[in-house]
Amino acid sequence: MDNIANSVGRIFVSRFWGSYADKNSFAKMDMLCFGVAALAFTFVVFSNPANGLFTMTGYNLLHAIALGGINSSFINLIFDLVPPERRSDSLAVTQVASGIAGFLTTLAVSPFIDFVQSRGNKLFGISVYAQQITAAVSVILSIVAIIYTGKALVKSKKS
């Protein structure tokens, strides 16, 4: 069910994101996509075994919508901001940096997830899962990405 929601979300949003970016900019599209990603992660924050089908389907759908724009804009931002002779190098560096960051993040967060799951944590009598905590951090990081993109890319393109 989640894969279906993911694919459907991606299919229907790709044309919208392209049109939005053409009218506004890829940086502004990125900000909107990070907002959708924050909303997606919020679904996970409030997810539990009783509502998991609904919340995880909502997460997968919104996350697919967000990534449909984010993946496109990252590549296109390089074409907007990097001189033509450096574009292929920039694309390669961003892909390598993304891979390394993902790997290192997994290494760093895995012990934390094991720790939380082994303790059976409760907050106000409610079970709190490691995925909810990492999703809350993702909401915060998505908001930071919105602010950074607004200050570094949107404002810099105006000046």
Q: What is the per-residue pLDDT across 81-123, written as a single tens digit (0 to 9) for each?
A: 899 999 999 999 999 999 999 999 999 999 988 888 888 777 7
Tell me how far apart the alpha carbons of residues 50 and 79 are, in angstroms, rounded to a whole number.
Answer: 45
pLDDT tier, 156 (very low <50, low <70, confident <90, very high otherwise): low
Residue 122 φ/ψ, nearest 5 degrees: -130, 145
Contact 61, 1 (CB under 8 A): no
* 45 against 157, higher pLDDT: 45
**pLDDT tens figures, 18-51:** 899 989 999 999 999 999 999 999 999 999 989 9
CA distances from 111 to 16, 46, 131, 140 (A): 39, 22, 13, 21
CB 30 within 8 A of CB 149: yes
Q: CB of 38 within 8 A of CB of 74?
A: no
What residues contact 67, with CB distance under 8 A and at least 6 apart? 10, 33, 37
Query: What φ, ψ does residue 120 adopt, rounded to 5°?
Result: 60, 50
Which residue stretches of 24-86 are H helix? 26-45, 52-81
